[in-house]
């Protein structure tokens, strides 16, 4: 019997990845980090992120692409060609999971929807990541992260704090939806282990991000129409990092013990008995005054001095790292988040290790692939003969 105790949790799971840019590759990167074999199927022009993801050393290998597609294999197929579609369908018959962020109707026109693939592979978990759910009027609209941030209320949350709608300077909706898709796939795999059957999974960006915003900010609308929405603690303009004598600090004293420790640290112990600040509910009702006390109190010492004083009193606090400082953060060095790696085509790069650890083991992740680099090997695995492979590679069907 083979000892699998030290195998990664998704060892033995094979994934066909028809995703691009960020939302889908975030999902399949997580699956690869957890041990799945991920085969990235790219169109002839390649994943847009190969070109959109920053200045590259070599064409088609942008920095963002290198990070979002580590651990994957690549085959490049023209699905508009009947022979290319036949390759994709044969490949779909060999996998446990099919993931796509192609619009649902386009996927069905290709014959790669759940109802097309399930008869030949009834154990397949078919995950469609979409901008909008198939049951609503927006279902056919195109979507990117910025579209979803605006439509879901995320941009309005920025307006309530800063005075004008804005986007988070991250593709946050893409990231979060990708995480949710990976979780949903794993849940469907658990169900398959119990029932023996796969299923279709739809993960819409808009609905998930709307739920994210509303869970946080439903407020009094929870009890019916007309109620005030929004968490005032989070939306208050002062709910941000605080300036110190020499920089910025993040401080979040939420419990009574933390708030009272904070008042001691800033040498304002009398505030513990102030009815505006003496309890969690009082501080919530007087959040602007509380944040003002915080801002005024922290202006008198350096960030390093405050970190010592606040941590002595168990008050949650951290320095505000610049991106450059984050790259050199000693804790991240301790845990090995970033590692120097020799990439087969890009030379020496800094790669990111998975932040989540499993005691059972972790896979050794492959380099992010050149477009179509694994095509011939994958075709052999599918049973194509050498003459067939040569013919597919010679024409417009499979890019070498």
The model's pLDDT over 276-310, given as tens digits with 9 standing for 90+, comes to 999 999 999 999 999 999 999 999 999 999 999 99
CA distances from 93 to 83, 85, 119, 145, 383 (A): 16, 12, 10, 31, 12
pLDDT mean across residues, the chain: 94
Nearest to 173, CA basis, from 196, 201, 197, 205: 205
Residue 191 has pLDDT above 90, yes or no: yes
The average pLDDT across 104-113 equals: 91
Confidence at residue 105, expressed as pLDDT on a 0 to 100 scale:
85
Confidence of residue 134 (pLDDT cuts 50, 70, 90): very high
The average pLDDT across 153-161 equals: 94
- CA separation for the pair 296, 302 (Å, rounded): 13
- Give the total residue count for the chain: 400
Confidence at residue 170, expressed as pLDDT on a 0 to 100 scale:
93
Nearest to 123, CA basis, from 34, 202, 200, 39: 200
pLDDT digits (tens, 9 = 90+) for 171-189: 999 999 999 999 999 999 9
The average pLDDT across 262-288 equals: 96
Nearest to 92, CA basis, from 400, 382, 364: 382
The average pLDDT across 78-86 equals: 95
- CA separation for the pair 137, 135 (Å, rounded): 7
* Domain spanning 14-212+337-399, CATH architecture: 3-Layer(aba) Sandwich (3.40)
The average pLDDT across 231-255 equals: 93
Percentage of the chain beyond pLDDT 70 is: 99
Q: In the numeric block, which tokens belong to residue 398?
A: 């499979």
Residue 400 has pLDDT above 80, yes or no: no
CA distances from 210 to 150, 156, 187, 395 (A): 10, 12, 22, 45
DSSP 8-state assignment for residue 135: T
Every domain of the chain with CATH number 3.30.1540.10 lies at: 242-319
CATH number of 242-319: 3.30.1540.10
Residue 353 has pLDDT above 70, yes or no: yes
Residue 156 has pLDDT above 50, yes or no: yes
Structure-model confidence comparison of residues 6 and 321, the more confident one: 321
What pTM, to 2 d.p., does this model score? 0.93
Beta bridge partners of 338: 352
Confidence at residue 48, expressed as pLDDT on a 0 to 100 scale:
95
Confidence of residue 4 (pLDDT cuts 50, 70, 90): low
Interior/surface letters 34-54, b for 16+ CB within 10 angstroms, e for the rest: bbbbbbbbbbbebbebbeebe
Confidence at residue 397, expressed as pLDDT on a 0 to 100 scale:
85
Confidence at residue 226, expressed as pLDDT on a 0 to 100 scale:
87
Confidence at residue 1, expressed as pLDDT on a 0 to 100 scale:
44
The average pLDDT across 59-74 equals: 96
Confidence of residue 3 (pLDDT cuts 50, 70, 90): low
- CA separation for the pair 33, 13 (Å, rounded): 12
For 290, the 3-state DSSP assignment is helix
């Amino acid at each position: 019997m083979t000892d699998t105790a030290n195998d990664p949790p998704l060892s033995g799971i094979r994934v066909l990845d028809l995703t691009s840019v960020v939302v889908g590759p975030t999902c399949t990167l997580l699956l690869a980090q957890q041990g799945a074999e991920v085969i990235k199927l790219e169109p002839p022009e390649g994943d847009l992120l190969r070109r959109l993801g920053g200045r590259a050393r070599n064409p088609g290998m942008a920095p963002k692409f290198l990070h979002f597609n580590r651990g994957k294999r690549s085959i490049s197929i023209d699905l508009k060609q009947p022979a290319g579609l036949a390759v994709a369908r044969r490949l779909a018959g060999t996998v446990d999971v099919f993931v796509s962020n192609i619009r649902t109707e386009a996927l069905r026109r290709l014959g790669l929807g759940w109802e097309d693939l399930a008869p030949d592979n009834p154990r397949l978990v078919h995950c469609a990541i979409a901008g909008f759910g198939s049951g609503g009027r927006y279902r056919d609209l195109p979507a990117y992260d910025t579209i979803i941030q605006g439509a879901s209320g995320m941009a309005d949350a920025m307006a309530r704090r800063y005075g004008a709608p804005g986007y988070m300077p991250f593709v946050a909706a893409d990231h979060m939806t990708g995480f949710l898709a990976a979780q949903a796939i794993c849940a469907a795999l658990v169900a398959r282990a119990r029932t023996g059957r796969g299923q279709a999974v739809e993960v819409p960006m808009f609905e998930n991000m709307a739920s994210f915003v509303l869970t946080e900010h439903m407020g009094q609308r929870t009890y019916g129409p007309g109620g005030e929405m929004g968490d005032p603690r989070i939306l208050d303009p002062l709910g941000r990092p605080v300036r110190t004598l020499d920089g910025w600090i993040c401080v979040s004293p939420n419990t009574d013990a933390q708030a009272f420790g904070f008042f001691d640290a800033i040498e304002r112990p009398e505030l513990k008995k102030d009815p505006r600040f003496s309890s969690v509910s009082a501080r919530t009702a007087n959040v602007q005054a509380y944040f003002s006390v915080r801002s005024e109190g922290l202006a008198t010492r350096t960030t390093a001095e405050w970190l010592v004083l606040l941590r002595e009193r168990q008050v949650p606090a951290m320095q505000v790292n610049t991106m450059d400082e984050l790259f050199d953060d000693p804790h991240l060095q301790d845990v090995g988040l970033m590692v120097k790696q020799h990439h087969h085509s890009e030379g020496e790069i800094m790669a990111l290790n998975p932040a989540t650890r499993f005691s059972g083991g972790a896979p050794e992740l492959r380099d992010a692939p050149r477009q179509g680099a694994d095509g011939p090997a994958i075709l052999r695995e599918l049973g194509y003969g050498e003459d067939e492979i040569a013919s597919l590679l010679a024409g417009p069907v499979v890019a070498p």
